[in-house]
Chain A
Amino acid sequence: MLRKLAFTGIKSRIRDYLVLFTGLVISSAVFYMFEAIATNPEFLKSSTNGMSLVSFIFQTGSVLLTLISLVYIFYANSFLLSMRQHDYGMFLVLGARPKKIGSLILAETLVIGLISSVIGIVIGVGLTGTLGGYLMELVLQDKLAHFQSLYLPAVFITLVLYMVLFIIAGLLNRRKLIKTPVLALLKGEREPNRPRLKPISAAIQIILGLGLLASGYFAMAKLTKLREIGIFFALVVIVLGSYFLFNAVFVGAVILLKKTKWAGRGLNNFTLSQLSFRIRNYTKILATVSLLFALALGAITVGMGFGKKTEMFSQGASAYTMALRDPSAAVKKQVKALDLEQQASYTQKKVKNTLYFEKEEFDQNPLQDVPDNWFDRAAHGKVQKISFQKLNGSQLQKNPGALYSIAQENFDQEIKLVSTSKFNALQAPRQEFYLFRVKDIQKAQPQLEKIVRTLYPKKHQQMRTMIPGGYASYLQAKQMFGGFEFMGFFLGIAFLAMLASCLMFKILSGANSDRQRYEMLNKLGVRPRVLRQSISREIMTLYALPGVLGIAHVLFGLQMFKPLLITPYQGIWLPFTIFIILYLLYFWVTVKLYEHIVLPKVEINR
């Protein structure tokens, strides 16, 4: 009978349960997506060229994500309990035994946990497959070795961790329900927690928070020296620092704002009270969200950074995409069909181990080359787009270095530029040395692949990285950095999903108890526009605070990637802009959903 009653209780609040459920499903799906990479050593090794630090970064990431899931599940759980406590209080009043009620809430927590984790893992597998496949196609035009969407160790870890967390949560729920007096259960959490400003404690927390964050940021900057310890240290102090800072600054700011004149106008005081009412609840989740924000934005920025690096490498490797010898008419036709920026044709003769070129040909049509200091300048973020230097015959005759890099067939081959008469006198067949540069290697990749296949029908897989020119460098850079780029985007999107669900969930779960307040305000004669304004201000604060701290985390965290990316800060405005637009979109959706729940319908119908 009680079971049936409990079930009808769930049915009557199906919308709240959907919010709860969606949040948990997304959380476990994202956890699985992360673990599918983090627990797959072969994939990590092959896509990051066996860097030992990478697998440690992922292990630490797992710890961080476990912490985040912990906060999330415990929070979700208290939401569950708050939804149920009135019902269970009522059962107790009607004479149900506390033990029975206790096992009922434990069972409910576990069932919800199990179902949501299983669905989450299924969705996680699906997303890993589709999103992973899509990103690989987009970033690499290729498959990464050992990448598996259904990776059993990850399934196992996700399921075990979530079940353990839910069992703990369920036991806590049970304890809390049995210990709480029946009347308190019935009345619900109406008690205001009066926020008090304790200046000394707040000052200590701010100093402590800033100090912890600073030392965490410092550790990330000195990662090459500190290695594993540095990562772990940074993780611990940044988590704690974020929490202290939020606790002190958030509470303090709201209380100080309440004292200003501004608070006395319109609904401002109400909005501030809304924030301060559940302030302690919010600090934990906001600190968590700032971390998720940093993880998501950081991953995407680093991913884009690696993409940029690939581009820089292929651009700076050579002035030409490919250098071909005596290309057939068929190959030339394929080349002509490309979106070309530059092409050149020279004549060469090979005598013994020396390669001869005609000086006059280069005087008429100078060879293009990457400027000597380009890498250096690019590394300091000074140039975005390369401008090639031109080398004529006399320059090349003095120093044929530029030709060596693109024309040399083996290490001890010599290259000489000679006058037309000398060239003609050489006893060797004439060969065409054909060079071309496409506008965009990445876009031209499918056609370039076809050219390689026409050139080397059998050994194209080996030869594609051997043809002199930028394409081979591009492929090598992809191999080196593409794995990082892929993981950056993949995890960035996953974290973004979790961030959104975390914050939206937190805000919407409070919406029900707010409904009465907004109805009240409506009866008091508050204009609908003012109500909306109050709502969007309240939610904006909750979005902005972790956003600002999250951006600080990323700006300092990028220091970690200096050894790998050289210029991690170059062009970060792009990922930042994209990310902030997405974040604003989430904000807008949350506001609309919240308005839908709390705003009284009568007024809107008018």
Chain B
Amino acid sequence: MSEQPIVSAKNIRKTYGKKDEKKYEALKGVNFEIQPGEFVGIMGASGSGKTTLLNILTTLDQPTEGQVEINGKNISELSGNAVADFRANEIGFIFQDFNLLENLTNRENIALPASLQNVSTAKIAPQIEQLAAQLSITDLLDKYPTEISGGQKQRVAAARALINQPAILFGDEPTGALDSASTTDLLELLTDINQQQNVPILMVTHDPLSASYCQRILFIQDGQIGQELQRNGQTHQQFYQEIIEKLGAFQSQEGK
């Protein structure tokens, strides 16, 4: 592909521990790119560095070494307000534990990123209605997050992530707290968003079913990208089988 990649990570290293302390290297030089419109999954065992990588990609943490470009911007050069604005405008976030503000109604939660950019409530209202219709949460808009189910919460969170039309959507185990029916619902929803609105998605997960909805999967192992799987037009059931086999191979490898 000749287009400029949405995400480009070059030689990212992250070392924890201060001077004179025992150091721990969480990321040991990670390189990858994500092209516009891709739906990419990152898989790995716990402690493999998934979360660290995601924190760096979303500007919540800084790499010790290396550089990340998102939508053409070198994010390690941003500072102060620019970081906050970058998060608000360029990326959307879906978390495992939803992270909705329980003191705001769902509608207010969705509107929040827009009102942070001083977009007026009146202007944003039709957009919220449209997103809500698309995500089937119209009836829930005036309820509080504590009054709806986990699956519904995650739809609200998705709406909030999309309201500012981000360049890329990040998911941190978005299905981790959902039952299987809600998981399938959400994954189909994400696929729709990805295909119809052409929003690239990068999702960290350890769940093979979730991963099987992606087009490409990066396996992270001991702080490095170990393997890569391409879906190449397989149905997600076929892809699911391939992922399971791959994981099995990993596990037996690690068991040796």
Interface residues of A (CB under 8 A from B): 190-192, 194, 261, 263-270, 273-274, 276-277, 516-517, 520-530, 602-603, 606
Contacts and interface: CB of A to CB of B under 8 A. Distances in A.
Contacts of B86: 525
A264 B116 contact: no
Given A270-B101, A520-B101, A527-B80, 10 more contacts: A269-B111, A276-B103, A517-B101, A522-B60, A524-B112, A524-B116, A525-B85, A527-B81, A602-B60, A606-B80
B191 to A, nearest CB: 24
Contacts of B115: 264-269
Contacts of A526: 84, 88, 116
Contacts of A192: 102-103, 144, 146
A524 B79 CA distance: 16
Contacts of A602: 60-61
Contacts of B60: 522-523, 602
List the 4 closest pairs (A to B, CB-CB), nearest first.
Answer: A525-B88, A525-B87, A264-B121, A277-B103
A193 to B, nearest CB: 10
A440 to B, nearest CB: 55
B99 interface: yes
B99 A527 contact: no
B93 A273 contact: no
B113 A524 contact: yes
B210 interface: no
Which of B83, B84, B87, B93 has the most A CB atoms < 10 Å from its CB? B84
B104 A520 contact: no
B86 to A, nearest CB: 7
Contact of B108 (A261, A269, A522, A530): A269
B113 A266 contact: no
Interface string B209-252: 00000000000000000000000000000000000000000000
B180 interface: no
27 contacts: A190-B102, A190-B146, A191-B146, A265-B120, A266-B115, A266-B118, A267-B116, A269-B104, A269-B112, A270-B104, A270-B112, A273-B101, A516-B99, A517-B101, A517-B103, A521-B101, A523-B60, A523-B87, A523-B93, A524-B87, A525-B86, A527-B81, A527-B85, A528-B80, A528-B84, A530-B116, A606-B79
Given A194-B144, A270-B104, A274-B103, A265 B118 contact: yes
Nearest to B114: A264
A149 B30 CA distance: 69
A167 to B, nearest CB: 34
Nearest to B118: A265
A353 B61 CA distance: 98
Given A192-B103, A194-B144, A525 B116 contact: yes
A385 to B, nearest CB: 55
Contacts of A264: 111, 115, 120-122
Given A190-B146, A273-B108, A523 B99 contact: yes
A523 B101 contact: no
Contacts of A525: 84-89, 91, 113, 116
Interface in B86-143: 86-89, 91, 93, 95, 99, 101-104, 108, 111-113, 115-116, 118, 120-122
B58 to A, nearest CB: 7
A264 B115 CA distance: 6
Nearest to A518: B101
Interface in B53-88: 58, 60-61, 79-81, 83-88
A521 B108 CA distance: 13
Nearest to A258: B108
Nearest to A190: B146
Contacts of B113: 524-525
Nearest to A514: B103
A190 B61 CA distance: 29
B112 A606 contact: no
